[in-house]
Structure 1
Amino acid sequence: MRTAAQHRQNQNNPGAVSQLSRRTFGKRNRWTSVGSVIALALSFLGATVFVAPAHAASPTIVTLTFDDGNDNQVAAAATLKAAGLRGTFFVTSGYLNSPSYMTTAQVQALQADGHEIGGHTVTHPDLAVTGADEAKRQVCNDRVNLTNAGLNIQNFAYPFASSTPAVETIVKNCGYNSARGLGDVRSVAPESAGMPVAATLPPADLYYTAALDQVESNWTLKDLQRVVNQAKTKGGWIQLTFHSIGRANDELSISTALYQQYVNWLRDQKAAGAIQVKTVREVIGGVTKPVVPGPVAPPPNTTDNLVQNPSLETAGATAGTAKCWSPGGYGTNTPVFKQVAGRTGKVAQQLTMSGYKDGDAKLLPTLDMGECAPTGQAGQKYSLKAWYKSTAYTQFDLYYRTGAGSWNYWTSSPYLNASSSWTQGSWTSPPLPAGATAVSFGLNLFSNGVLTTDDYSLTIFK
């Protein structure tokens, strides 16, 4: 059996919960996962290199933004600083101090070096499909968390570029001066060919500022240069969005060498007077507004079953998903989730694991700020139950939420045996850690196999 320490080393990472990035083309459309998007052509503009006319209608301003707070962005920021440039880093506050993410001290150091820090929610949800109170907690409390860390937070970026007019109003009311979208400016993708080459200044919509599609691993130096050169034909503002630099096997990462080449090219373009490189704050302006806390999370639930949608019958916002449930996992493996016939009702969740090398996968009550995750009480024990069929060992994985909204791996149950027929797994947890405000749990697979689950229960142990 894996020890709690061994398990925590790899799993104490909220980002392990599935957060597929989405390609966007056009404001507030629906998005498809990266894996389902058609392959990009080498370039829809051929080998043409645009040269700015002698007098563009307006200056060309380039802003480099970085999402999520990945730890490899620390070196990316240092590269910018060495070139005399500054960027805007949109940080998911609930991920700070977790494996693969920046520490609070590192983010503070970025600000001290002149970079801008912006908000990106507490746990990176799709704000367009969360309830209003949950969206307020995610947006407002993220700004509260970052401000309490001594950071000057004025601007925001939507996770997945997903928003609605109501969400835009929430962002404004939380005290932000602007919010960035994605996919409304011409990029390297053929689908964006009819879009403008740059956003207008001032922005047409402060709370969904137009930006290029996110930079991905198949972008080349010519692609990165092209989006700037084409903007120079008319002038305006382009925001480039990076997630990772130098991370292997990551569709949202470019190599360190390519990034260095691009930063050097931008430095030279700026020195020649062809472009300006500014942070979002420098473009948007405005004062830092007071923080506005989000609504208080629901009080501890004392009903028999604390799990919302325990039998998975209420559909989620995306076809084939259950409301208040999300896939999670970590490591090198290939999990596939789908809905199948239920033990009771119509729906159960099936997980098929292949290509297993390490890590695990599971379905969990959504790790959020109070809309779905069961509210918990520190010091309380809980009784966990779930019905399952499995071709391999499984076990309960447990997580808890801190007062600031970050989620941490807590502990795991002993192994439960494989079973070809419906079997109810059960376990009593240790006391919920001090400071914890919510709990989430799920049955996992940590080998190749098939696991089907249904009818979950979480009750206070008496």
Structure 2
Amino acid sequence: MRASRLRPREAGGRRAKLTGAMSAAAALCVALLLSWAGPPPAEAAPAPWTVVSLTFDDGRDNQMNAAPVLAANGVPATFFVSSGLIDAPGYFTRAELDELARAGHEIGGHTVDHPNLAALPLDEAKRQLCWDRNTLLTWGYDVRSLAYPFASTTPEVEAAAEECGYSSARSLGELRTRFGCEQCAEAESIPPRNAFYTEAPAQVDSSWTLEDLQDSVTSAESVGGWVQLTFHDLCETGCSELNVTPKLLDDFLRWLTPRAETNGTVVQTVGDTIGGDVRPRGDAPEAAPAPPGVNAIKNAGFEGVDADGVPACWMEGNWGENATDFGTSRAANSGEYAGIVATVRHASGDAKLLPQLDLGTCAPTVLPGTSYSLRAWYSSTAKTQFVTYLRTAEGSWEYWTASPYLHAASGYERAIWMTPPIPPGYTGMSFGLSLFEDGVLRVDDVGMYAAGGTPGSQRMPPGAAPGGIRPGAAVAV
């Protein structure tokens, strides 16, 4: 998850074979029909021997540098975008996406917020696929094509992509280049062997030369078929390792486009190569909200830890200028572990552990108009506060609001805050206690309950505030 997102507002069946003999009468009818059909149609032009598709992943804003290069060379491209990142810093704006579509480029799906689909529960993966496509359709784009983030998929994810209405889905790294896959084919077949796992070379990065790009085409031409070239950053300076320069792209296209005449090699979008109409929407249902009186937080006590040592279902949220470490601590309120956040050299921003900003597997589902009681046991060398984020119906996340400050505490104390009612149009919430100055914060036994279904006061320590905390009030007990 990028830190900037955590900053406050800132039917057909198989063709049947004809069997049996036609009756004489039927044969006569056919002959008469043919005799009335007029002159035969002009012979159709042969299909291109080799197709090249230029694909740009992630919707990074510097990919707008490709637009004038593509226009100057008269070729279309496919831009695979994550709808939840549109209008975020470093990504396309809606206006830029509209500009690309008006110029004849294809807009394809890349999930809501670019997760590793193979690592997700299937319901979550399907929400990532369907919600992304449905949002792009609502924005007015003809969405037929998908690219898997990180080229990560499973047969079940591929089936979900088809159920969501896509016509194809691209992987990476299954075609031969000098960078690897030496025993692989030179080109994908047309049509592909598996439309929901179309094979492509490894992604283009800064180590690729003009000759490498040319070789990917000439290798495909030697056997015929389809090659999808995948670009990410397109800039001159201060770029990532997944970068090529606009000049390199232009040099390549000036070499490539004449080959339509000389070699029968054409540039097409992914959707036009696969063909077919835009399919209807698919859908994946919301995760259900927690029942009244049931804690909506998964792994509330930080006892489950993933292979990277991060508490399962939790994420590190950090923005601004500071140095922060996250992890687990054995100085727990209960059980074996607590979450810990340690910040030094704080100049701006904040840091916190919070439920993953996902589409419902970890982030709780909320109901508009409902307030929620947020609870946590904490100890901290600095003051803290609850900060909250809301998920839109499309699956993107926005900063919402924060509680009043809670005082520093040398031993564990319980923090309770009742949120305002959830505004219309939002379906999920994530939150955490944050550090916004140098300090060490431990958090344990986190809770979230819908108003009216909060645990009774008997579950709180002596001297605790009553369960019915008014919206906006925060207490440490």
- TM-score normalised according to structure 2 size: 0.75
Gap regions ≥5 residues in structure 2: 11-47, 452-467, 469-477
**Distance 1:10-1:375 versus aligned 2 partners, 3 A rule:** closer
Shift in Å, 1:9? 9.9
CA positional deviation for 1:319: 4.2
Identical pairs, percent: 44
In the alignment, does 2:230 pair up with 1:237? no
For residues 221 and 447 of structure 1, what CA distance do their matches in structure 2 show? 49
Correspondences of 1:441-456 after superposition (within 5 Å):
441-446=431-436, 450-456=440-446
Q: Pick from 126, 129, 148: which aligns with 2:119?
A: 129
Q: Specify the SS of the correspondent of 1:385.
A: strand
User: Do the aligned partners of 1:400 and 1:439 also contact (CA within 8 Å) in 2?
Assistant: yes
Question: For residue 150 of structure 1, what is the amino acid of its counterpart?
Answer: G
Is residue 376–residue 416 contact of structure 2 (8 Å, CA) maintained in 1? Answer: yes
One of 212, 221, 246 as aligned partner of 1:259: 246
2:386/2:433 contact within 8 Å kept:
yes
Counterpart in the other structure of 1:308: 298
Question: CA shift at 1:271, angstroms?
Answer: 1.5
Deviation, structure 1 residue 298? 1.3
1:101-143 CA-to-partner distances (Å, cap 9, x unmatched) read 3233432332221101111222333222323322222212222
- For the pair 1:86 / 2:73, whether they are aligned, the reply is no
Structure 1 unaligned regions, length at least 5: 1-6, 14-57
Which secondary structure state, in structure 2, belongs to the residue aligned with residue 72 of structure 1?
Answer: helix
Contact 1:300 1:377 in 2 (8 A): no
User: Is contact 2:213-2:252 (8 Å) kept?
Assistant: no
Q: Secondary structure at the match of 2:159?
A: helix
Residue 326 (str. 1) matches residue 315 (str. 2): yes
- Counterparts of 2:6 and 2:312, CA distance in 1: 30
Matches within 5 A, 1:97-246: 97-187=87-177, 189=179, 192-221=181-210, 223-246=212-235
d(CA) in 1 for partners of 2:248 and 2:417?
A: 54
Q: CA deviation at 1:419?
A: 5.2
The residue number in structure 1 matching 2:24 is none
Q: Distance in 2 between matches of 1:217 and 1:353?
A: 35
Q: Quick one: higher RCO (CA 8 Å, sep 6+), 1 or 2?
A: 1
Matching residue's letter, 2:143: I
Deviates more, 1:226-235 or 1:137-146: 226-235
- Specify whether residues 396 and 347 from structure 1 end up closer, same or farther in structure 2 by C-alpha distance, changes over 3 A only: same
Q: 1:145 to 1:329 in 2, by over 3 A?
A: same
Whole-angstrom distance in 1 between the partners of 2:172 and 2:428: 32
Contact 1:219 1:254 in 2 (8 A): no
Provide the alpha-carbon RMSD of the alignment: 3.2
Assess if the C-alpha contact under 8 Å between 2:368 and 2:427 holds in 1. yes
CA distance in 1, matches of 2:62, 2:378: 39
The amino acid that maps onto 2:190 is L
Distance 1:455 1:217, change over 3 A: farther
Q: Highest CA radius of gyration, 1 or 2?
A: 2
Match of 2:36 in 1: none
Q: Deviations over 1:308-346 (max 9, x none)?
A: 221122344x44233322333344666554344361223
- Contact 1:178-1:206 within 8 A present in 2 as well: yes
Whether the 8 Å CA contact 1:397–1:411 is kept in 2: the answer is yes
Give the secondary structure class of the aligned counterpart of 1:76: helix
Change (3 A) 1:148 1:61: same
- Please state how far the C-alpha of 1:247 moved relative to its aligned partner: 8.7
Cα distance in 2, alignment partners of residues 81 and 270 from structure 1: 12
Q: Name the CA shift for 1:80/1:425 in 2 (closer, same or farther; >3 Å).
A: farther
Give the AA of the match of 2:128.
Q
Residue 352 of structure 1, CA deviation: 4.9
Structure 1 equivalent of residue 55 of structure 2: 65
What is the CA-CA distance between 1:241 and the residue it aligns to?
2.2
Q: 1:325 to 1:10 in 2, by over 3 A?
A: closer
- Structure 2 distance, partners of 1:87, 1:165, is 27
Instruction: State the one-letter code of the partner of 1:259.
Output: P
Shift of 1:169: 0.7
Cross-structure match for 1:436: 426
Structure 1 residue 174 displacement after superposition: 1.5
> Equivalents in 2 of 1:79, 1:12: separation in Å?
35
Q: Are residue 269 (structure 1) and residue 256 (structure 2) matched?
A: yes
User: Once the two structures are superposed, what CA deviation does each residue of 1:357-408 show, in whole Å capped at 9, x if it has no partner?
Assistant: 6544432212222222111122333332333455555443211012222211
Given that residues 378 and 436 in structure 1 are in contact (C-alpha distance below 8 angstroms), is that contact kept between their aligned partners in structure 2? yes
TM-score with structure 1 length normalisation? 0.77
Whichever residue aligns with residue 399 of structure 1, its letter is: Y
CA distance in 2 between partners of 1:198 and 1:429 (Å): 56
